[in-house]
Amino acid sequence: MNSLLPQAFVEHLSHLLGPAGWRTDAASLQAHAQDNSWRSQLPLGVALPENREQVQALVRACRQHGVALVARGAGTGTTGAAVPLPGSVVLSFARMNRILALRPGDRCAVVEPGVLNGELQHALAPHGLFWAPDPSSAEICSVGGNLACNAGGPRAVKYGTSRDNVLGLLAVTGSGELIECGGAYTKDATGYDLTHLLVGSEGTLALIVEATLKLTALPVAQAGLRVLYRDADAAAQAVSRVMAQPVVPTRLEFMDARSLQLLRLNGADVPEAGAMLLIEADGDHDTLPYLLQALASAAEGDGMLALDVAMEGSAREKLWAARKALSPALRSIAPGKINEDVVVPVSRIPDLVAGVQALAVRYALTIVTFGHAGNGNLHVNILYHPDDADENARAHAALPEIFALTLALGGTLSGEHGIGLAKRDFMAEAFTPATLATMRAIKQTLDPDGILNPGKVLPPA
């Protein structure tokens, strides 16, 4: 028995959840101690409820005994949002992983939070449908985690993020009450929009136990463009042109020269260039050529070196395989990586790219920039050697300047990774005191004793 937890609390959870649902063994604690941010802290216990009633009872027990509760999906997040603070218990949704209903006629699916994104997509495909969020970890990340951090992915430029693709939620507040928000409909002017408030709140306001998701019809045909540019500024200017014309691309990804070099080192067939855009369109066989031509015309301009068309099949798959290989390949440059997913208005992407390049020179660092340019959402990766004290210091000194640059350009701290621990202390620079006070008031209302994922998202008052 864990002597750091109240005995009555442990006995209650053991009875409530059974040996499979309440774990305090070393292996279970270690398995739930970190996420993909590489921060780590052992929890005092791991709860694996099977239904919403158990979640309610667990929250009420935590509130009664003053025990902090950190919800967890698959642990693929990068900001430390699922990392327990000292003295916390982790609530894993791994056993609440059922697809409760597929409703093609209503274009929605009802799922529990532990359902994996990839599993849901496979279940939807025979119905000719998909759920739009497609983060790079889509095969292994959970829908609950996607909703918690408002995950997006490359398709978000056309189809939106998780917040744009959820219709309703059931969630348990910090007082153990079950609240119902939204439903299987796409229009709703009834009361406050709690559904979209909870999406992106990283488990700090309430715990999502069921979600009604908005589905989209699979496209009939898809095709892509690979466009090479003289330099990053020329590519960034092209992004602005592409997004200013009527045809909305399905995906619009930016990669700088260092990204292309890294792809070549890892065997990808990518020509030398200062930057590259991957642009994709979808539609039917009749309209797709016209959509692609409109995007190609916008992509052309000063600094363009080459434009190649990849229709459906292996050529298109190779384009996106190269893009997906980027993030894991960064470890081959340096063992340390600070990965931030800042967002600016699309028209300010050239300024963001230029500013990041200037910071790389000033701090003598390798900074690799790529990402979802159609949303103005770029992943700025500072690479460094943690065992080199000077380089380590320079990397962490550059980070606040990247955030300051982003905010000065009218942007925001995160597009899809969330805030967690990694960016919490920068929130005071992104929002006014009155805005933060409003957020804290909402937190106090839904989680009166502050037991839900404490220390995340909001900086200390």
The backbone torsions φ and ψ at residue 181, rounded to the nearest 5 degrees and listed phi first, read: -130, 130
Domain boundaries, the chain: 7-92, 99-217, 221-327, 333-408
Where is 103: in which H helix or E strand? strand 99-103
Fold annotation for 221-327: Alpha-Beta Plaits (3.30.70)
295's CB contacts (< 8 A; 6+ apart) are 225, 242, 245, 247, 249, 279, 281
Residue 54 pLDDT: 98
Residue type present at position 360: A
Q: Is the pLDDT of residue 311 over 80?
A: no
- Lowest-confidence segment of 27-31, 63-67, 310-314 by average pLDDT: 310-314
Q: Is the pLDDT of residue 310 over 90?
A: no
Fold annotation for 333-408: Alpha-Beta Plaits (3.30.70)
428's CB contacts (< 8 A; 6+ apart) are 436, 459
Q: Is the pLDDT of residue 318 over 90?
A: no
Mean of all residue pLDDT scores within the chain:
94
pLDDT confidence of 199, banded at 50, 70, 90? very high
Same CATH topology for 221-327 and 333-408?
yes
Condensed to tens digits (0 to 9), the pLDDT of residues 124-149 reads 999 999 999 999 899 999 999 999 99
Residue 323 pLDDT: 80
Residue 265 pLDDT: 81
| Residue 268 and residue 328 in contact, taking contact as beta carbons nearer than 8 Å | no
Angle separating helix axes 52-65 and 7-21, nearest 10 degrees:
160
Does 7-92 carry CATH code 3.30.43.10?
Answer: yes
Largest Cα–Cα distance in the chain? 70
Q: Is the pLDDT of residue 1 over 90?
A: no
Residue 105 pLDDT: 96
**Facing residues of 204 across strands?**
none
Q: Which of 3.40.30.10, 3.40.47.10, 3.30.465.10, 2.120.10.30 would CATH assign to domain 99-217?
A: 3.30.465.10
Condensed to tens digits (0 to 9), the pLDDT of residues 35-67 reads 988 899 999 999 999 999 999 999 999 999 999
Condensed to tens digits (0 to 9), the pLDDT of residues 412-434 reads 999 999 999 999 999 999 999 99
Residue type present at position 130: F
